[in-house]
A and B are shown apart, each in its own frame.
Chain A
Amino acid sequence: DARVTQTPRHKVTEMGQEVTMRCQPILGHNTVFWYRQTMMQGLELLAYFRNRAPLDDSGMPKDRFSAEMPDATLATLKIQPSEPRDSAVYFCASGTNTEAFFGQGTRLTVV
């Protein structure tokens, strides 16, 4: 049963600390997305990779967020330094052409 795996599922951290979220996309998918779910904005696209190359990260605060795909089985989203307003659920999704399959998300709380 192929699925997108995200770790950790929950993270509580203090303001100013570095946070790294990890995602294992579905094998064979060449596209990876990072989304953030907030009450007001719904699912916001933060970053988007195709064949491991970043194509769009315009949704990310550049000064503190970074997204990478060191290999085809791992995507990372890093926040440094974290701030309380970063508290949200972060979803990774991998896809084929027009459909995205989501992981269960990482619930981040920055206190």
Chain B
Amino acid sequence: DQQVKQNSPSLSVQEGRISILNCDYTNSMFDYFLWYKKYPAEGPTFLISISSIKDKNEDGRFTVFLNKSAKHLSLHIVPSQPGDSAVYFCAASDPTFSGGYNKLIFGAGTRLAVHP
């Protein structure tokens, strides 16, 4: 039972346009959300995050939106560039984990292709 879902395995966008990657979660106790970017043959790298007390966080071309009532977040990239082509993972932090450290739960990833 996946608690973090990325229902679109792939997305193709033209350079200069907006890329919107979506993520849904099931656990209302999640309090922090992150997006990671992964190039082939490399490990995922942190991109942007948002706390559950906010509904938007912006960093340059990247903006993450959080809709807690819908248990949905999205990553907007504008304008999209060919170098943005990668797999994007959504992750949620579970503060209820008994180990006393927030457990990161990842989605299956969305492969973004930005073409000229």
Query: Beyond A102-B45, A104-B42, is A55–B108 a contact (Cβ under 8 Å)?
Result: no
Which A residues lie within 8 Å of B49 (CB)?
98-99
Closest to A9 in B: B41
Query: When A and B form their complex, what is the total count of cross-chain residue pairs whose Cβ atoms lie within 8 Å?
Result: 63
On whether the beta carbons of A102 and B43 are closer than 8 Å, the reply is yes
Give the interface residue-count category, chain B: 20 to 34
- Looking at A11-19, A34-42, A68-76, A79-87, the stretch in contact with chain B turns out to be A34-42
Q: How far is the CA of A104 from the CA of B41 in the complex (A)?
A: 7
Give the interface residue-count category, chain A: 20 to 34
Classify the secondary structure of A's interface with B.
strand
- Looking at B12-20, B77-85, B92-100, the stretch in contact with chain A turns out to be B92-100
**CB of A65 within 8 Å of the partner chain:** no
Chain B 10-64 interface residues, beta-carbon cutoff 8 Å to A: 32, 34, 36, 41-46, 49
How near does chain B come to A36, taking the closest CB pair, in angstroms? Answer: 11
